[in-house]
Amino acid sequence: MAKKDEYIEEAYNELKKLSLDEKKRLEYEARERALHDYNTQMQSAERRGAHETLMRLAVNMAGKGKSLEEIAEVLDLDTDEVKGLLKESQQSNHMHVLQ
């Protein structure tokens, strides 16, 4: 019956978790936290990577003389977002020169 209804299954799993002895419960919770932290870090890295890719594309297109409107259309962004990417790239390059 628990397999047929996801809410019952979830409650059943919670009951199983609570019925474990203290040490196993703590181990389980530590593992769950570690998995959550790992997944959060991976999602964050993916977002940073996508953002970096958009910034590089915007810079490359601007360097080839494309207008803000053309870049925005190709990248499916609005012109303010493109301006932000280009400005961020300039600031990032400036920081690298200072280091």
Give a yes or no: residue 91 inside a domain.
Answer: yes
Domain membership of residue 27 (yes or no) is yes
Query: Number of structural domains, the chain?
Result: 1
Give domain status of residue 83, yes or no.
yes
User: Mean pLDDT in the chain?
Assistant: 87
Answer whether residue 1 is part of any domain: no
3-state SS of the chain is CCCCCHHHHHHHHHHHHHHCCHHHHHHHHHHHHHHHHHHHHHHHHHHHHHHHHHHHHHHHHHHCCCCHHHHHHHHCCCHHHHHHHHHHHHHHHHHHHHC
Average pLDDT over residues 30-49: 96
Segment 32-38 shows an average pLDDT of: 95
Most confident of 3-17, 32-46, 81-95: 32-46
Residue 30 lies in a domain: yes
pLDDT grade, residue 2 (50/70/90)?
very low
Domain membership of residue 17 as a residue range: 6-98
